[in-house]
């Protein structure tokens, strides 16, 4: 569980680096095995494009809905928690694309009725995540800007993972999330963040797990068509439809 100081720091800075393992060694090894299965079956996708793998592989729900994860996010999200998404992100040695500066919320505009309590866990797999292999970096406190900054510019998706990059970011303010295997970070969905390309011989692999309060309503918009969410803990407070809860008759 997070301390009151952890929660206060997250609210003001927009991120946390707990500096501990999230899962037991056995559980972490199982997750890495699942990741490698998905990587070998990716087909034409790039290794950083393995989005929502839990849609296709129910084994991942054992991790996404686990007490280890939900006990960690509950102090930030509240007792009624919905699972929004997950994503395997692997940057290959020497060729892994950079992630441009962005706010996650900027790509979700219109999909929710509130954005101020969406939390992402970024779990380091395999060899860990360091400056040399393109670890995540954030601009502390930038989530307080609301998450919909102006100034996005086109980005080259042959070298960047997204089609747009937030310009004018002062990189001197960046905090780098260097994580050993099994360690994790947490960040607010509105914080400005990104990552440099992997120019090292070491693959950088992470698993993101993203949650929001069940009091937040997913909007009936085309962007949400076909999107699946799970009620991870507690009660539904907004009338959302969940993949693991039958819709009202």
pLDDT tens-digit readout, 20-60: 999 999 999 999 999 999 999 988 887 877 999 999 999 99
Annotated domain spans of the chain: 4-233
| Residue 67 binned pLDDT confidence (cut-offs 50, 70, 90) | very high
Alpha carbon 63 to chain centroid, angstroms: 14
Percent of the chain at pLDDT above 70?
99
Residue 249 is predicted with a pLDDT of 57
DSSP string, 2-51: --HHHHHHHHHHSEE---SBSS-HHHHHHHHHHHHHHHHT-TTS-TT-EE
Task: Summarize pLDDT for 131-168 with one digit per residue, the tens.
Answer: 999 999 999 999 999 999 999 999 999 999 989 999 99
CB of 230 within 8 A of CB of 165? no
Mean pLDDT of 225-244: 97
User: Can you give the pLDDT at residue 80?
Assistant: 98
Given this structure, which CATH class describes domain 4-233? mainly beta
């Amino acid at each position: 569980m997070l301390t009151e100081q952890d929660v206060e720091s997250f609210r003001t800075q927009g991120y946390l680096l707990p500096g501990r393992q999230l899962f037991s060694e056995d559980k972490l090894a199982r997750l890495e095995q699942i990741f490698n299965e998905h990587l070998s079956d990716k087909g034409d996708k790039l290794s950083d494009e393995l989005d929502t793998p839990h849609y296709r592989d129910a084994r991942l729900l054992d991790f996404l809905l686990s007490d280890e994860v939900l006990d960690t996010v509950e102090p930030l999200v509240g007792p009624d928690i919905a699972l929004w998404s997950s994503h395997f992100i692997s940057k290959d040695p020497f060729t892994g694309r950079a992630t441009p500066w962005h706010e996650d919320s900027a790509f979700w505009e219109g999909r929710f009725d509130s954005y101020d309590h969406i939390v992402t866990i970024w779990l380091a797999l395999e060899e860990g995540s360091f400056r040399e292999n393109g670890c995540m970096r954030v601009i502390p406190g930038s989530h307080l800007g609301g998450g919909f900054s102006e100034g996005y510019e086109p980005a080259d998706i042959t070298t960047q993972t997204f089609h747009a990059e937030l310009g004018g970011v002062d990189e001197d303010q960046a905090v780098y999330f260097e994580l050993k295997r099994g360690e994790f970070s947490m960040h607010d969905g509105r914080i400005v963040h990104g990552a440099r390309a992997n120019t090292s011989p070491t693959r950088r692999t992470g698993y993101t797990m993203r949650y929001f309060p069940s009091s937040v309503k997913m909007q009936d918009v085309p962007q949400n068509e076909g999107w699946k969410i799970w009620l991870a803990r507690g009660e539904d407070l907004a009338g959302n439809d969940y993949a693991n809860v039958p819709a009202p008759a």
